Amino acid sequence: MAEHIDKTHYDERVRIAVGMSEGELTDEFKDGVLFTLELLKTEPTADVREVVHAKWIEYGRPRCEEQHYQCTNCEDYVNFGQWGEYYKNNFRYCPHCGAKMDLEEVEQCQHQ
């Protein structure tokens, strides 16, 4: 899987580090670093956002045939009707906040 960085943030941090290096780096090295930063600006970008992980929790309503579930991220509700268990297991993203419904899988991987 490709890794992504915030180019603007990286550029600022490197420029600060080079500026604070008084006498520790040769001018040629500094020029090379600054040249590399300019090359970085020409690299293609991707529209990337952090993945938010959540899970469905059942939200029971007394005397109700339909199954409602709540997203643990945005705490909004979804009515899955009489097909609740099927949708809970197959509805992989929250329609309200876009959270990926795999928190239980992520937690299992972290504990191994």
Q: When comparing pLDDT for 16 and 3, which is higher?
A: 16
Whether residue 73 lies inside any domain: the answer is yes
Identify the band that residue 6 occupies on the pLDDT scale cut at 50, 70 and 90.
confident
Whether residue 61 lies inside any domain: the answer is yes
Top-confidence range, 5-14, 43-52, 95-104:
95-104
Among 40, 75, 41, 39, residue whose Cα is nearest residue 55: 75
Domain around 106:
56-110
The Cα–Cα gap between 88 and 85 comes to 5
Cα 68 to Cα 40, 61, 91: the distances in Å are: 48, 8, 13
Whether residue 71 lies inside any domain: the answer is yes
For strand 56-59 and strand 77-81, is the pairing parallel, antiparallel, or unpaired? unpaired
Whether residue 48 lies inside any domain: the answer is no
Both tokens of 12, joined, read 């600022």
Q: Where are the alpha helices (DSSP H) in the chain?
A: 7-19, 27-42, 84-90, 103-110
Whether residue 32 lies inside any domain: the answer is yes
The Cα–Cα gap between 77 and 33 comes to 50
pTM: 0.54
Split into its structural domains, the chain has a count of 2
> What pLDDT digit, counting tens, does each position of 46-60 carry?
887 888 999 988 876
The Cα–Cα gap between 63 and 95 comes to 26
> What pLDDT digit, counting tens, does each position of 61-70 carry?
656 666 788 8
Whether residue 1 lies inside any domain: the answer is no
The Cα–Cα gap between 40 and 42 comes to 5
Position 47 scores a pLDDT of 80
Task: Indicate whether 72 and 37 sit together in one domain.
Answer: no
